[in-house]
């Protein structure tokens, strides 16, 4: 089965920092998600990025943030031959906070995709925030692994995220909305992992709520507060993302793919796919050529 969840060990590898070059590691990168936050700085080329089923285009000088649990994929823009970009993946739990902080940066990162904060930053915005030198220093420190490099990495990451938060707050008061009760956080993380690895099975909101030890109403209310979609919509989106990967990276026919991702009715699968992706499965497959 097509697993959308990318496991990263936060103890063995709290950071992953590297320069991605599509000449040596070809694009596209299939849809996936992880608990890490991920930052891209584009040096050259133009990429098309799907973020929770929203398409954005990143050009040279742009910065893109993938918040924790954000479903994302990366492809070259049509007629673009190659791209290079810095990649910084990090465990949000590494970002410290103190009593004087207005916001907890770790909590902010976990709420970004729920609050629909913009995660693509133009070259002009990146220059205004002076982010490029921070990316450069993080890559250099990660390569050197010198004395207290991890402390410098953490300080630079904290600075980047803080600048993004300031940018968001200037645009709109994003962080005045209360989230779910903290006691539900781990339960919902586990439910998302379970949906990702069992999307091809019959899943009901009742059974998932029972796994959390919550009533149907409490589970549904807090699930929507966290993800800004119902649990049924989340399951459908997960199935459609898995189907998209199979359409792009296999030669199976549409009926087979529909069955593999949990649909017994191919026509219903096609309607669901078009509702979420805006095109039919056959149209999506044509785009890969």
Do 205 and 157 belong together in one domain?
no
Of 124, 148, 176, which residue is a domain's last? 176
Nearest-angstrom CA–CA distance, 228 and 157: 27
Nearest to 177 by CA among 224, 218, 212, 220: 224
Number of domains in the chain: 2
List the domain range (segments joined by +) for residue 204: 182-287
Do 160 and 244 belong together in one domain?
no
What's the burial of 144, exposed, middle or buried (CB within 10 Å: 0-12/13-18/19+)? exposed
pLDDT at 206: 94
Do 96 and 190 belong together in one domain?
no
Do 248 and 132 belong together in one domain?
no
Concatenating the DSSP letter of every residue in 225-261 gives HHHSS-HHHHHHHHHHHHHHHHHHH----HHHHHHHT
pLDDT at 112: 85
Query: Would 150 be classed as within a structural domain?
Result: yes
Q: What CATH number does residue 189 fall under?
A: 1.10.10.60
Per-residue pLDDT of the chain in tens (289 residues, 90 and over written 9): 456 888 887 777 889 999 999 999 999 999 999 989 999 999 999 999 999 878 999 999 999 999 988 889 999 998 999 999 999 999 988 887 666 676 778 878 888 877 789 999 999 999 999 999 999 999 999 999 999 999 999 999 999 999 999 999 887 767 764 555 555 666 787 888 889 889 999 999 999 999 988 899 999 988 887 777 899 999 999 999 999 989 988 889 999 999 999 999 999 999 999 999 889 999 988 876 5
pLDDT at 121: 97
Handedness of CA 129, 78, 287, 260 (dihedral sign): negative
Torsion angles phi and psi, residue 120, rounded to 5: -110, 125
Do 110 and 21 belong together in one domain?
yes
Do 84 and 172 belong together in one domain?
yes
Do 146 and 206 belong together in one domain?
no
Residues whose CB is less than 8 angstroms from the CB of residue 3 and which lie 6 or more positions away in sequence, other chains included = 196, 197
Do 197 and 274 belong together in one domain?
yes
pLDDT at 179: 55
pLDDT at 1: 45
pLDDT at 181: 59
Do 38 and 161 belong together in one domain?
yes
pLDDT at 53: 79
Strand-strand pairing, 37-44 and 63-66: antiparallel
Nearest-angstrom CA–CA distance, 52 and 41: 20
Nearest-angstrom CA–CA distance, 151 and 129: 21
Nearest-angstrom CA–CA distance, 285 and 165: 38
């Amino acid at each position: 089965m097509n697993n959308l969840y990318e496991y990263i060990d936060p103890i063995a590898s709290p950071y992953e920092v590297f320069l991605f070059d599509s000449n040596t590691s070809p694009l596209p990168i299939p849809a996936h998600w992880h608990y890490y936050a991920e930052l891209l700085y584009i040096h050259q080329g133009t990429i098309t990025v799907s973020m929770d089923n929203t398409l954005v285009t990143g050009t040279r000088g742009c910065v893109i943030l993938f918040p924790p649990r954000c479903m994302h994929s990366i492809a070259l823009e049509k007629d673009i031959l190659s791209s290079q970009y810095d990649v910084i993946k990090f465990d949000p739990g590494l970002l410290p906070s103190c009593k004087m902080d207005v916001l907890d940066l770790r909590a902010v990162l976990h709420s970004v995709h729920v609050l629909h904060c913009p995660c693509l930053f133009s070259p002009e915005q990146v220059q205004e925030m002076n982010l490029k030198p921070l990316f450069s220093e993080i890559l250099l420190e990660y390569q050197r692994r010198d004395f207290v490099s991890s402390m410098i990495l953490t300080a630079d990451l904290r600075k980047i995220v803080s600048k993004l938060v300031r940018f968001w707050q200037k645009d709109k008061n994003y962080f005045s909305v209360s989230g779910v009760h903290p006691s539900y956080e781990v339960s919902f993380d586990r439910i998302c992992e379970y949906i990702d690895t069992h999307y091809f099975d019959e899943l009901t909101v009742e059974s998932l709520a029972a796994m959390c030890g919550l009533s149907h109403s409490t589970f549904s209310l807090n699930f929507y507060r966290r993800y800004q979609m119902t649990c049924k919509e989340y399951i459908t989106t997960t199935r459609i993302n898995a189907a998209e990967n199979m359409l792009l990276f296999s030669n199976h026919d549409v009926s087979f793919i529909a069955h593999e991702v949990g649909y017994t009715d191919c026509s219903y699968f096609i309607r669901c796919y078009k509702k979420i992706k805006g095109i039919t499965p056959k149209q999506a497959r044509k785009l890969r050529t």
